[in-house]
C-alpha cells in the first residue's frame, strides 16, 4: 500500500512540476496558464502529449525539440524534478493529511516564485491567490482542529498582517540607506502570503533565514562574477527559507524559540 502511495505521489509531483513550468513561463509574459496547449518557444510547434511527459520526454528527446532540434531549457526538467522531490518530502512528513494539502499549495507557490523571480526579478501578485491560504487555514481552524475563529484571526490573519507591515517598514526604511528599492512590493506581498499560510511566528524566522542565505549567496556571487554591484533578487531566498520553515518549524521553535525569551522577559518584569 505504501509503495502505491509513493508511486502516486511521484507521478502527481512530476505532473504538477510540468504544470508549474507552464506557470513559470507564462505568468511573467501575461499569458493564460490554461490555454493554448504547450508550444515550442522557438518554432511554435504544438508539443505532442508523448513529447510532454515530465523528465522522460526530455531524456528521450536528448534535450532538443523534435521538430526544430533547438535546445530545450534545462530549467524544465529541473523544475519537474525538484517539485516531485519536494512533494515527496511533504508526503513523508505529513502523510495524506490536511497538512499535506496546505503544504502542497505553499510549495507550488514557492517553486513558482523562486524561478520567476530568479529569471525576471519580479514576484507576480494576483490578489485572488491570497484566498488560498485564507480558505485552507479557515477550514482547518473551524472544522478540522476546531481551534476556532479567534485562533484563526490571531495566528493567520495576524501572521499575514505582521509580515506585510514588517516588510513594508523595512522597504520604507531601507530605501534612503541603499539609495534604491532594496525590496520590491512583491516581497512585501509574499510575506503577507506566507504569514497567512504559516502563522505569525514564522515571519521573523523566514526573514532571518532568507537574509542569511541571501547574504552568503551574494558574497559568493560578487567573488565569482567579480562585480561590485550584485542585484540578486530576494524572492528565491525567501522561498528557500519558507520551505525550510515548513519542514522544520517544530525543530526551529524548539531549539531557537526566541519568543520564549520574550515570555521570560515579561515574566521577569512582572515579578521584579
Ligand atoms: Zn521547436
Give the span between the Cα atoms of 114 and 166, in whole angstroms.
21
Would residue 22 be called left, alpha or beta, if left means φ above 0 and alpha means ψ between -120 and 50 degrees?
alpha
Give the SS3 label for residue 46.
Answer: strand
How far is the centre of ligand 1, averaged over its atoms, from the C-alpha of 48 (Å)? 12
Note whether 101 and 184 are same-domain residues.
yes
Note whether 154 and 209 are same-domain residues.
yes
Give the pTM.
0.92
How far is the centre of ligand 1, averaged over its atoms, from the C-alpha of 58 (Å)? 13
Note whether 218 and 250 are same-domain residues.
yes
Note whether 205 and 160 are same-domain residues.
yes
Note whether 104 and 44 are same-domain residues.
no
Q: Which of 89, 112, 133 is the last residue of a domain?
A: 89
More confident site: 254 or 113:
113
How far is the centre of ligand 1, averaged over its atoms, from the C-alpha of 54 (Å)? 17
How far is the centre of ligand 1, averaged over its atoms, from the C-alpha of 45 (Å)? 6
Note whether 40 and 171 are same-domain residues.
no
Q: 152: which residues sit within 8 A by CB, 6+ positions away?
A: 137, 138, 141, 142
pLDDT at site 31: 92
pLDDT at site 123: 95
Instruction: Give how many domains the chain has, as a whole number.
Output: 2
Note whether 166 and 220 are same-domain residues.
yes
Note whether 75 and 152 are same-domain residues.
no
Cβ contact 213:162 at 8 Å: no
Note whether 267 and 247 are same-domain residues.
yes
The DSSP code for 180 is: S
How far is the centre of ligand 1, averaged over its atoms, from the C-alpha of 51 (Å)? 12
How far is the centre of ligand 1, averaged over its atoms, from the C-alpha of 55 (Å)? 17
CB atoms within 10 A of CB 196: 26
How far is the centre of ligand 1, averaged over its atoms, from the C-alpha of 53 (Å)? 16
Note whether 34 and 80 are same-domain residues.
yes
Q: Which of 89, 109, 142 is the last residue of a domain?
A: 89
How far is the centre of ligand 1, averaged over its atoms, from the C-alpha of 86 (Å)? 30
How far is the centre of ligand 1, averaged over its atoms, from the C-alpha of 13 (Å)? 26
Note whether 109 and 48 are same-domain residues.
no
**Owning domain of residue 37:** 1-89
Give the span between the Cα atoms of 194 and 145, in whole angstroms.
20
Q: Which of 58, 89, 120 is the last residue of a domain?
A: 89
Note whether 233 and 186 are same-domain residues.
yes
| Residue-wise pLDDT tens digits, 16-70 | 999 999 999 999 999 998 888 889 989 999 999 899 999 999 999 999 999 999 9
228 confidence band (pLDDT: 50, 70, 90): low
How far is the centre of ligand 1, averaged over its atoms, from the C-alpha of 187 (Å)? 35
Amino acid at each position: 500500500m505504501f509503495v502505491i502511495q509513493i508511486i502516486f505521489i511521484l507521478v502527481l509531483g512530476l505532473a504538477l512540476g510540468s504544470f508549474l513550468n507552464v506557470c513559470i513561463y507564462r505568468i511573467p509574459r501575461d499569458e493564460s496558464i490554461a490555454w493554448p496547449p504547450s508550444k515550442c518557444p522557438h518554432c511554435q510547434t504544438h508539443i505532442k502529449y508523448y513529447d510532454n511527459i515530465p523528465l522522460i520526454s526530455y531524456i528521450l528527446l536528448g534535450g532538443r525539440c523534435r521538430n526544430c532540434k533547438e535546445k530545450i531549457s534545462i530549467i524544465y526538467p529541473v523544475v519537474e524534478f525538484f517539485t516531485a522531490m519536494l512533494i515527496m518530502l511533504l508526503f513523508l512528513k505529513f502523510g495524506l493529511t490536511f497538512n499535506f494539502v496546505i503544504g502542497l499549495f505553499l510549495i507550488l507557490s514557492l517553486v513558482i516564485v523562486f524561478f520567476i523571480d530568479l529569471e525576471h526579478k519580479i514576484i507576480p501578485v494576483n490578489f485572488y491567490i491570497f484566498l488560498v491560504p485564507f480558505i485552507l487555514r479557515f477550514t482547518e481552524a473551524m472544522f478540522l482542529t476546531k481551534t476556532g475563529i479567534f485562533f484563526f484571526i490571531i495566528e493567520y490573519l495576524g501572521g499575514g498582517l505582521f509580515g506585510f507591515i514588517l516588510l513594508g517598514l523595512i522597504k520604507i526604511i531601507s530605501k534612503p540607506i541603499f539609495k534604491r528599492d532594496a525590496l520590491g512590493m512583491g516581497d512585501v506581498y509574499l510575506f503577507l502570503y506566507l504569514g497567512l499560510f504559516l502563522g505569525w511566528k514564522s515571519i521573523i524566522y523566514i526573514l532571518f533565514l532568507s537574509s542569511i542565505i541571501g547574504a552568503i549567496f551574494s558574497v559568493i556571487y560578487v567573488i565569482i562574477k567579480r562585480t561590485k554591484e550584485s542585484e540578486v533578487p530576494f524572492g528565491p531566498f525567501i522561498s528557500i527559507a519558507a520551505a525550510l520553515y515548513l519542514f522544520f518549524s517544530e525543530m526551529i521553535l524548539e531549539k531557537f524559540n526566541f519568543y520564549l525569551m520574550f515570555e521570560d522577559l515579561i515574566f521577569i518584569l512582572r515579578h521584579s
